[in-house]
Structure 1
Amino acid sequence: MLGLSLRQHAPGVPRIALLERTGLAEDVAQLRLLLERARWQVWLVPARRVRSSMPWYYDGIFAKIEVFRMPLEKVVYLDADTWVRSPEVLQLFEALRDRPLAMTRDINSWKGHQAGVLAVRPSPAHFRSIETHVMAGENDQRAINNAYNRTEIHTLPRRFNMHGSAAADIDAVVVHFTGYAVKPSAPRVDLLRKVSSGEALDGGLESGGAYYGEYFRAMIGPACFGYLSQALQVRLHQVVRNTSFVRASSLLGYRLTRASSAAQPQNKHNI
């Protein structure tokens, strides 16, 4: 869903998906296939086992630190549970005019910057510092904050990373389904019914029900549906069989049968 939203709002910008080699090989291969179908260029990166009483708890979450050593002048990074709603996302590149890193404030209990959406000028020195903090047991966000001096971080407006309790009164550029909540694309009928009706999931966007409903309508739309996993397509069909929602979705012009057989558009993007 993130890749498809970027294809719409940031066409022509290369898209790279960082995928850690963790878990079953067949699961990694299946995820890679889904990402490539959505026109991501997939980079497999090594998994990191950190110093912790539960090292497996952190499996799969440290791929983002690889952006800090990419051989590129500027990189915009977005967590996999984000979704882009506007071409304003391209303004993130311009946030690096006078500082090497740009993030929004974390509006939750921790007072640093939120690392789910960031723009960065990659730096091998900063990468080494981040990796040192990670291997000492810090999570990715705390490690990034600790590796940069506060004067090096440009604070972005919160509409570029709408997360937690900050979803009430701002027209978001990037919606971020943070927290320990099950994500709105989980292939579960009970949760998808809530999402379809614009109900925020527990532990996610506290006041962002409208974004959940919008996200659901995007998933069943012709631009996205055919790219989703088979399990998710099946569950979405089950939810849409609800008479009241079928009527509403028809008015919006969504057609699942058309979406599921939509041809994959040609493009050269990768981010």
Structure 2
Amino acid sequence: MSQKGKGTPMPYEGGPMAEADTLTREAIWAVYTPRLLGLEMEIYAEIDSTNTRAVALAQRGAPEGILVLADHQTQGRGRLGRQWFAPPGSSLLFSLLFRPPLMVSQAQRVAMVCAVAAVEAIAEVTGLTAQIKWPNDILLEGGKLGGMLTELGGHGAALDYAEVGMGLNVNLDLASLPPVMTPPASLSAALGRKVPRAVLLATFLRRAEALYEALKGGWSPHEAWREHLATLGQRVAVGTPEEVIEGLAEDVDADGALLVRTDEGSLRRILAGDVTLRGERL
């Protein structure tokens, strides 16, 4: 069952935790008045994948800003086809459609906007300091709090759309997860109390919308994104389809590529790959 459409936003007056944790249009708009992101939305109790739905909408010509949100995904996925585990009611699981005036090579800037908005929203709502692990993870105290998956469509070098899917462990019982390589994290586990998901999502949308509007006006999210990266200054092993590159993560460039100084002294520019920080398991 989905909930679609527009309406008149309601002023936020607080309210019980149960109301703030209900993922409805009204609960979100109670604390956020959209101009673009979430102005149109589809909300599902259960769906196979919000990314799959958002990509289908993009390919049918849907307007940018549409939000696909689910309380549970039966086929949620991350990068490289990995499954995303999130019991019903535990997490924020959503996808947003963007149509920025960018080249395909610049599409990572949209993901930068979403990552920065996520860590800023977490800080505003919970007071916790999350970080970004290149290229697409959200970390909290070294554990994986969330992840993003970006899917693109283009005409030649020009970007037609960028669809960004995100999963965040909000009120997740970590004991409910299967064994994973990267230790998981959850906002409620860190705080010792539940976090209102609708308020967190609304705060994310407000911040992402402001950053995205700035991006379309010519602003680069590079420096803001760079400031939140946990990867820089650490020894890393980056797995790519061709090889594993080891060295010091020195910097990132304007388009999101990771710059790694190898032990031989060469500087490698990596556009995509799986990063293991020193001390983590490969």
If the length of structure 2 is used for normalisation, what is the TM-score? 0.30
**Larger strand percent:** 2
If the length of structure 1 is used for normalisation, what is the TM-score? 0.31
